[in-house]
Structure 1
Amino acid sequence: MSIEIAGLTRRYAEVAALDAVDLSIRDGEFIALLGPSGSGKTTLLRALAGLEFPDAGSLHVHGRDLARVPARERGIGFVFQHYALFRHMTVFENVAFGLRIRPRRDRPGGAEITARVQRLLELVQIPELARRYPDQISGGQRQRVALARALAIEPRLLLLDEPFGALDAKVRKELRVWLRQLHDRLGITSIFVTHDQDEALDLADRVAVMRAGRVVQFDTPETLLARPADAHVAGFLGEAVRLPCTLADGQARFAALPPLAVETSLPDGPALAFLRPVDLAAEPAGGDAPGNATVVSARHDGRGLRLTVLLEGTVLDATPAAGWAAPARGEPCRVRPLAARLFPA
């Protein structure tokens, strides 16, 4: 189901929760809305669901303008952050709820509802929980129930608000993989809200980075990391450290780091450099080259060894140079930049 959003605006008194948002989403995409609290991502999701009505702009879903259509008439599946399951209903009845409250002319018969709910519980891999109540199952299982309930109405658009926010880290990772596989199997369009950049970059085909009610950049995870649109995106994604520098004669010159040769369209003068751990190489000090930093910690992050170093009062994450296998806490080292993303100061 394709989505075209143009000039979507929602204000609360003098505050613009959505400020002329434009967004174009292709049929079958998995999209993340990513940003800090107050950036407008949940308001945008609620506007798509029909739980908020915009003050201006258009919202076309599969060619139909839904900006003023009530939520119950949109046929969109919504999974709330805290699941919103009915505690007095069994898992089976929670999933069946959206079917049972349909107008009589659209309501399936009892046998069809039973068969559909059973299929959905099998799809989300919890058929054995049908007769339990929400308080009798785990958080991860409740998340699957909420998803099955959203899918019961057979939506072509699925919206998820912080779907893993209430789960512990291990369950979050397992459900992330499972949800992406489920999305690919069903072929529906999915949009989820998150403030967790790892979640967004791991799951989504494209990510809309939001700030102050606007979409700052809407791109693939690879493009966001390689070519951030501005300093906000560069600082928000990828654990980058922000360092002031001066551009002169094709070099970025830092107060405490060696100069870095750069290609940039920025004029000479003050600039901001964003450097990720892979952009900073740390090597042991020795001989005639004294260290300019000290190792604070060394740890494996699942992809390789990561160092935290202290450089003249600034804490940096860096990657150890090839051959430096066992950096020790307190050991002097040298840090040099390998690459940087540059923006106007």
Structure 2
Amino acid sequence: MTVEASGITRRFGDAAALDGVDLTVREGELVALLGPSGSGKTTLLRVIAGLEGMDAGTLRIAGQDMAGVPARERGIGVVFQHYALFRHMKVADNIAFGLDVRPRATRPDRAEMTRRVAALLALVQIPDLARRYPDQLSGGQRQRVALARALAIEPRLLLLDEPFGALDALVRRDVRRWVRGLQERLAITTILVTHDQEEAMEMADRVAVMERGRIVQFDTPSALLDQPATPFVAGFIGDAARLPCRVEGGIARFDPLPVAPLPAAVPDGPATAFLRPSELLAEPGSGATVRLLRPQGGGDAHLVVEAGGLVLDARAAPGSTLARGDACHLVPRGGRVFPTAG
């Protein structure tokens, strides 16, 4: 099942929640929509689900134009952040709900519904919870029930809207890995909305980074890290420090910051460099001070360095014996440089 969005626009008053969005999702792919709050990712998901209209553009699912097709006829399973389970219904009845409300002509008989619910409970690994109510479940168990309910209608497409946000960090990590494994086994096309870059980078085949209602880069996780297309992507992905510099003759210079020059294939003039902690090495010297030191094992150490009024994450240079309070200078070993907009 494929998804093809072209020129999708959605406005709320004078504000454009979506501003000409293009997105193509391949069959069986898991795509993450990643961005800060207000970037448009949930609005785009709701447009695809048919829960939100659009002011312009076209949307095709499995080649079919979705114009005028209501949500209930799109064959899409949706899992929301807070699961939206019916508290007065037992787990089995929650899972069967999407089947039970179908028109009589397409509704399975009671025996088939019971069989399908049992199969789904086994699939999401909670076969003994059919008779419990949602309030009797843990957050991870409720998430599995919500997923089973979405799968009960045998959807052509699965949409996940911040589905792990209500879980604590340890449970969230385990559940998202389980969900990814299940998605791969079922080979179901899936779109995940998240503001958590670790979640997106771990789970998705490709990630669409959104900013102010637009997709500014759509690529694999490794390409986003290694080849960010814009300063926003470079700063948003990978926990990079943002340092002002000036490029002259293909070299970025950071004066008066105690940072060594860095080759930069951009035009001469003011620029901004994005350096990740692994790309910024601290060596004995002057101009900066080690404020915190955390050994990482294998002789490596994570440093927090104060330099020119900035607090930067860095790594200790191989063989250095820097300690807290020591003077140092910084040497970039890679990074991305973008010209400063005029």
Normalised TM-score (structure 1) = 0.95
Relative to structure 1, is the Cα distance of residues 156 and 213 closer, same or farther in structure 2, using a 3 angstrom cutoff?
same
Are 2:264 and 2:337, in contact at CA under 8 Å, matched by a contact in 1?
A: no
- Map of 1:28-177 to 2, 5 A cutoff? 28-177=28-177
In structure 2, the gaps of 5 or more residues are none
Unaligned runs of 5+ in 1: none
Contact 1:53–1:67 (Cα < 8 Å) also in 2: no
Letter in 1 for 2:267: P
- Structure 2 residue aligned with 1:262: 263
Aligned residue in 1 for 2:306: 310
> Counterparts of 1:157 and 1:24 in 2: how far apart (Å)?
13
Asked whether 1:295 is paired with 2:290, we answer yes
The match for 1:228 is: 228
Question: Corresponding residue for 2:324?
Answer: 329
Q: Give how far 1:69 is off.
A: 1.1
Q: Is 1:53–1:68's contact at 8 Å kept on the other side of the alignment?
A: no
2:321 pairs with 1:320: no
Give the AA of the match of 2:135.
D
- Classify 1:192/1:124 alpha carbon distance in 2 versus 1 (closer, same or farther; 3 Å): same
Q: Does 1:271 align with 2:266?
A: no
Please state whether the residue corresponding to 1:20 is helix, strand or coil.
Answer: strand
- In structure 2, the CA distance between the partners of 1:160 and 1:37, relative to structure 1 (3 Å rule), is same
Distance in 1, Cα, partners of 2:233 & 2:280: 19
Q: Counterparts in 2 of 1:204-215, with a 5 A limit?
A: 204-215=204-215
Q: Deviations over 1:246-285 (max 9, x none)?
A: 1112211002134424141x211111111111110012x2
Distance in 1, matches of 2:239 and 2:279, equals 11
Distance 1:159 1:195 in 2: 15
Number of equivalences: 338
Pick which of 100-109 and 66-75 moved more.
Answer: 66-75
Say if 2:258 and 2:308, in contact at 8 Å, map to a contact too.
Answer: no
Q: Which amino acid is the alignment partner of residue 342 of structure 1? A: V
- Checking the alignment, whether the CA contact within 8 Å between 2:259 and 2:329 is kept in structure 1 is no
Following the alignment from structure 1 to structure 2, what is the Cα–Cα distance between the partners of residues 302 and 236?
A: 28
CA distance in 2, matches of 1:242, 1:261: 14
SS for the counterpart of 1:323 is coil
Q: Which amino acid aligns with 2:32?
A: A
Residue in structure 1 matched with residue 339 of structure 2 by the alignment: 344
The percentage of counterpart residues that share the same residue type is 62
Query: Over aligned residue pairs, what C-alpha RMSD do you find?
Result: 1.5
Query: Which amino acid counterpart does residue 296 of structure 1 have in structure 2?
Result: R
Measured in 1, the distance between the counterparts of 2:167 and 2:326 equals 38
